[in-house]
Amino acid sequence: MQQQLPSKASIVRDHMDAGRWAEAIRLAAAFPRLDKHRNIILDARTAYTNPRWLVQLGIDPEAAKQAGHAALRERFA
């Protein structure tokens, strides 16, 4: 009997539930269709990987992370 692998969306949800937001954002940012959440999630990924870049753009990295968390909750909850 073949074991079914978990979907990527369920892995994102698992990371969210465990409080591993950086991992959840990293994985979700690679999804091809994020619709209205796309830019928010990509900014959150940048906040985790290169926060100084966002500061140079005048964006608060912590605010970008929190917005990314909210976008993931809305998209995957």
Mind listing the pLDDT tens digit for each residue in 39-70?
999 999 999 999 999 999 999 999 999 999 99
Q: What angle is formed at CA 38 by the lines to CA 21 and CA 35, rounded to 5 degrees?
A: 125
Other Cβ atoms within 10 Å of 22 Cβ, number: 16
Averaged pLDDT for residues 5-24 = 95
CA angle (74, 76, 77) in 5-degree steps = 70
Q: Is the pLDDT of residue 72 over 90?
A: yes
**What pLDDT is attached to residue 55?**
96
What predicted TM-score, i.e. pTM, was given to this entire model? 0.89
pLDDT at 1 over 80: no
